[in-house]
Amino acid sequence: MATRLLTLLLMAACTVCGCATGPDPRDPLEPFNRKVYGFNESVDKAVLKPVAKGYVAVVPQLVRRGVSNVFNNLGMVITTLNDALQLKGTKVPVDIARFTTNIVFGLGGLIDVATELKIENRNEDFGQTMGYWGVGSGPYLMLPFFGPSDTRDAPGLVVDFVASPFFYWNPDPQIRWGTFVLDVVDTRANLLQAEKIFDTAAMDRYSFLRDSYLQRREYLIYDGNPPSGAGTKQKSLKELEEEDLKDEPVPLRAAPRVRRP
């Protein structure tokens, strides 16, 4: 969760000049979404942001980094599951290697040893899995508390939550929900610096966030290699891979394209 939101804001900083306002065919629910966005902003200003600032002020940076590392490493369980569902056989062993390396040699995940060893850090979720198999994104949807999503990714959040180790690791609901709250606070704390782009740019914040989210999701769905025209008629990665196979054999090229597993 933290990685997803932080990457979204950092990518948005690079596209601030290109954000558009006004009606958007991807956002037919805009009046409703703007009301939910306003609600989320109110909750953030009244609760989440002050708590996050207090967390940063009280908890040493080294401890906060360790907390973030633990949550990010546990997220590899979800990534591994979704890589398997997407038949990315070459990625699953890498996901497992990253998770186990940090657990065994990183004091249960407190230290990100895997990154030091240059083991790839990836993020896959069930929304991406549905996109892989050809499910369209549908209309943009702003969710209460959770923020930007769409009608494909929103149900995927439920699947990822049920698949998460947090759902099983402790039967005590107080500890389980306390851990969830800590994850939320840690995520919000990690965004305190990145969100300053909102304060320095003259823009419609709602449209800015929407466009950034949709661009980021397209990038993730296609593993960083979206086809031209994606979004007008979306194809699954499986269909694109089958098209690639029709073009084989590929002779020597000056700049071969990076192929998906």
What is the predicted pLDDT for the residue at 150? Answer: 96
C-alpha to C-alpha distance for 67 and 81, rounded to whole angstroms: 23
What is the predicted pLDDT for the residue at 87? Answer: 96
What is the predicted pLDDT for the residue at 4? Answer: 45
For 145, the token pair is 């508390």
Backbone angles phi, psi at 226, to 5 degrees: -65, 140
Q: What is the DSSP string of the chain?
A: -HHHHHHHHHHHHTSGGG---S--TT-TTHHHHHHHHHHHHHHIIIIIHHHHHHHHHHS-HHHHHHHHHHHHHHHHHHHHHHHHHTT-TTTHHHHHHHHHHHHHHTTTTTS-HHHHTT-------HHHHHHHTT----SEEEETTTEEEETTHHHHHHHHHHHSGGGTS-S-HHHHHHHHHHHHHHHHHHTTTTTHHHHHS-S-HHHHHHHHHHHHHHHHHTTT-PPTTTTTS---HHHHHHHHHHT-S----SSPPPPP-
What is the predicted pLDDT for the residue at 167? Answer: 76
What is the predicted pLDDT for the residue at 247? Answer: 47
What is the predicted pLDDT for the residue at 12? Answer: 43
What is the predicted pLDDT for the residue at 17? Answer: 41
What is the predicted pLDDT for the residue at 204? Answer: 85
What is the predicted pLDDT for the residue at 9? Answer: 45
Long-range contacts of 218-223 (CB under 8 A, 24+ apart): 219/11, 220/123, 220/128, 221/128, 221/131, 221/132, 221/137, 223/260
What is the predicted pLDDT for the residue at 8? Answer: 45
Query: Quick check: 192 and 53 in contact, CB under 8 A?
Result: yes
Residues of the chain with pLDDT under 70: 1-22, 170, 198-202, 228-261
Q: What is the pTM assigned to this prediction?
A: 0.76
What is the predicted pLDDT for the residue at 54? Answer: 97
Domain spans in the chain, listed from the N-terminal domain onward: 2-7+27-246
